[in-house]
């Protein structure tokens, strides 16, 4: 029986979406994680994985899948794309991107050639707190089905509490599920904005 390898490119700050990387790897995906510093992906059962060095990258094998960290910087987008492409080998079938606004355009432009023609996108963005009316930012790739995750600064579950990392990862995993199910593009807000202060 022929088993197709599915590849995902996950762009986020060090360790920011470790659970997302792990869940994809558990599901058999080959996940590539370019970031400045290495943050181990939780592998769960110690008998189900092995960690080893490969070509200067750290690789964690989880079940049938694998998560590979690549040392890269947002301010060197061409180099980031080159290094990620060397590990991906073939085009990615999914892009999950949580890139700081300063680097978003340059990084997403650089990795565009690494994506397969049918690859959906999950893009995570922070909701600006300095505007009264907030429209979701336009997806970077207008021709690709994009699930947007819009992050508020406070939880919508517990009033006044900051949005927790677990809530963000859960929301991103939901968006990944929608993307892989082929759902139409959509924007989903997590948490609430802090109120706009008037002078």
* Tens digits of pLDDT across the chain (199 residues): 445 789 999 999 888 898 999 999 888 999 999 988 877 676 554 333 433 323 345 555 555 688 899 999 999 999 999 999 999 999 999 999 999 989 999 999 999 999 999 999 999 998 766 555 557 778 999 999 999 999 887 666 666 677 788 888 999 999 999 999 999 999 988 876 554 444 4
Q: Please tell me the predicted confidence (pLDDT) of residue 43.
A: 58
Integer Cα distance of 87 and 109 in angstroms: 18
Integer Cα distance of 155 and 193 in angstroms: 9
Helix (H) or strand (E) holding 33: strand 30-35
Report DSSP letters for 61-114, one per residue.
EETTEEEEEEE--TT-HHHHHHHHHHHH-S-BSEEEE---TTTHHHHHHHHGGG
Integer Cα distance of 172 and 149 in angstroms: 7
Integer Cα distance of 30 and 145 in angstroms: 21
DSSP bridge partners of 123:
97, 148
Domains of the chain, first to last: 1-119 (3.40.50), 123-199 (no CATH)
Integer Cα distance of 99 and 66 in angstroms: 22
DSSP 135: P
Q: Please tell me the predicted confidence (pLDDT) of residue 64.
A: 67
Q: Could you tell me the strand order of the sheet in which 30-35 lies?
A: 49-54, 57-62, 65-71, 30-35, 7-11, 94-97, 121-126, 146-151, 186-190
Q: How do 57-62 and 121-126 pair as beta strands?
A: unpaired
- Residue given tokens 């139409």 in the structure block: 184
Q: Please tell me the predicted confidence (pLDDT) of residue 61.
A: 57
């Amino acid at each position: 029986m022929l088993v197709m390898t599915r590849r995902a490119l996950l762009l986020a700050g060090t360790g920011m979406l470790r659970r997302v990387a792990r869940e994809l790897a558990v599901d058999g995906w080959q996940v590539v994680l370019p970031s400045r510093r290495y943050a181990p992906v939780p592998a769960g059962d110690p008998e189900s994985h092995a960690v080893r060095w490969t070509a200067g990258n750290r690789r964690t094998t989880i079940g049938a899948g694998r998560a590979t960290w690549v040392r890269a910087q947002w301010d060197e987008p061409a180099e980031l794309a080159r290094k990620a492409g060397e590990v991906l080998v073939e085009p990615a079938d999914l892009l999950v991107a949580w890139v700081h606004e300063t680097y978003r355009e340059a990084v997403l432009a650089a990795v565009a050639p690494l994506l397969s023609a049918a690859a959906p996108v999950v893009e995570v963005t922070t909701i600006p707190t300095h505007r009264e009316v907030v429209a979701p930012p336009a997806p970077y790739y207008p021709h690709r089905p994009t699930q947007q995750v819009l992050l508020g600064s406070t939880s919508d579950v517990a009033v006044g509490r900051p949005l927790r990392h677990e809530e963000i990862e859960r929301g991103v995993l939901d968006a990944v599920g929608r993307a892989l199910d082929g759902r139409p593009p959509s924007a989903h807000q997590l948490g609430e904005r802090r109120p706009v202060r008037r002078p």
